[in-house]
Amino acid sequence: MGRYPQARSALLPMLHLLQSVQGQVTAEGIELCAELLGLTAAEVSGVATFYTMYKRRPMGTHHVGVCTNTLCAVMGGDAIYERLSERLGIGNDETTEDGAVTLERIECNAACDHAPVLTVNWEFMDSQTPQSAVELVEKLRAGETVTATRGATITSWREAERVVAGFEDGRVDEGPAAAGPSLAGLEIARQRGWTAPAFDEGSDAAAAEAEQVGEESPQQAAAESDSGRAATETAAAESPAGTRGGGSPQGEDEIASGPSPDDSTGETATTGETADEGGSSDD
């Protein structure tokens, strides 16, 4: 709690820490969080039921999440989920009888360049197939060592939750953080000698000097120009001249004088109401 300027800001990591101990978010845990953070149980419960990473049911030793969002689904995510569901005999957000695996459909994990992906305790398993996914969960159930494609050696869901809560486990540097398609652009840039534009310290120094002597820098001039244009556009949009006739002089005359005798547009009542608001012409 001491890490945060306001105690209530500790709620999210505290709920993850709670899960690392109890294996789910319990009613008892909600009451404890509320008491420690000066919140109501309803406020804590509202957060715990909003975010899908917080679980209200007992979790398995391992959480296997299959991305079935657009790209992963097209690349085979739906097929992977169906195969795992059939193999494990469970549906979405359910746990196997032996308590080894909880299966879940999950939303995009920002790993589209490695689609289809699944996660084990929030660690990436890239470029999966139905068969490789089955082999993966069988290894997990057998207690074999499994290493993430881009990340650390797989531990348990509870241990991973403790890390998410902000307590390091010393595995942060295990395995690559990026690989394959994620680095393709960087490799092309290196091959072609492309580099990012150098930072121009001179422009910032000139702007600072101009500010000191009271001169207007190019950046300030551009900003003022944009502000002036925006103000002009706002005034034009709010002007009565734009109500009818497209803001032309002819449109202004029509509003002032009312409809012509041969006006067949069906707007007579509207124009008449305008005249009444400014004073009836019958007087």
- Structural contact between residues 119 and 109, judged by C-beta atoms closer than 8 angstroms: yes
pLDDT score at 174 = 87
Q: Crossing angle, helix 218-238 and helix 201-212, to 10 degrees?
A: 80
- Structural contact between residues 196 and 185, judged by C-beta atoms closer than 8 angstroms: no
Tell me the C-alpha distance between 209 and 217, whole Å. Answer: 9
What proportions of the chain, in percent to the nearest 5, are helix, strand and coil?
Answer: 55, 10, 40
State the DSSP code for 147.
Answer: B
Side-chain-side CA neighbours of 116 within 13 Å: the count stands at 26
pLDDT score at 237 = 62
Side-chain-side CA neighbours of 106 within 13 Å: the count stands at 24
The CATH number given to 62-184 is: 3.40.30.10
Quote the Cα angle for 129-131-135, to 5°: 115
Tell me the C-alpha distance between 138 and 134, whole Å. Answer: 6
Tell me the C-alpha distance between 214 and 107, whole Å. Answer: 53
Dmax (CA) for the chain in angstroms is: 95
pLDDT score at 109 = 87
Task: Give the residue from 3, 26, 161, 162 showing the smallest Cα distance to 34.
Answer: 26
Provide φ and ψ at 189, rounded to 5°: -60, -40
CB count in 10 Å sphere of residue 265: 9
Tell me the C-alpha distance between 31 and 14, whole Å. Answer: 12
CB count in 10 Å sphere of residue 197: 5
Side-chain-side CA neighbours of 33 within 13 Å: the count stands at 26
Which residue bears the tokens 């109401």?
273
pLDDT score at 252 = 43
Whole-model pTM?
0.67
Task: Give the residue from 55, 68, 37 showing the smallest Cα distance to 164.
Answer: 55
Tell me the C-alpha distance between 231 and 250, whole Å. Answer: 25
pLDDT score at 179 = 80
Identity at 19, one-letter amino acid code: Q
Residues of the chain with pLDDT under 70: 201-283
Give me the residue spans of the domains in the chain.
7-48, 62-184, 197-247
Residue 189, C-beta contacts closer than 8 angstroms, at least 6 positions apart:
195
pLDDT score at 177 = 80
State the DSSP code for 177.
Answer: S
